[in-house]
Amino acid sequence: MLLSPPGLLPPRTPDPGPQLPFLLILLALMLGGWVEGQYLAVFVDGRILPIGGARLLDERKIRLELPNGGGIVVPVTRVDRIVEAAVEPDPQPVVAPLPACGFAYVEAEPPAGTPFAGEIVAAAKAANLHPGLVVAVVQAESAFQPYAISRVGAAGLMQLMPSVWLGAGLQTPFEPASNLRAGSTHLRALLERFKGDLTLALAAYNAGAAAVEKYGGVPPYAETRGYVRRVLGRFCPELQARPTSGPEEPLAAGG
Least confident of 9-13, 97-101, 152-156, 198-202: 9-13
Q: What is the mean pLDDT of residues 111-116?
A: 95
Contact 65/211 with Cβ under 8 angstroms? no
Could you list the active site residues? Answer: 141
Q: Residue 91 has what pLDDT?
A: 74
**How many Cβ atoms are within 10 Å of 172's Cβ, its own excluded?**
21
Which CATH number is 117-253's, of 2.130.10.10, 3.40.50.720, 1.10.530.10, 3.30.360.10?
A: 1.10.530.10
Residue 235: pLDDT over 80:
yes
Identify which has the larger pLDDT, 170 or 252. 170
pTM, rounded to two decimals? 0.80
Q: State the pLDDT confidence band at 98, using cuts at 50, 70 and 90.
A: confident
Residue 253: pLDDT over 60:
no
Contacts 24+ apart (CB under 8 A), 61-64: 62/152, 62/153
Q: Does domain 14-84 have CATH number 2.60.40.10?
A: no
Segments making up each domain of the chain, as ranges: 14-84, 117-253
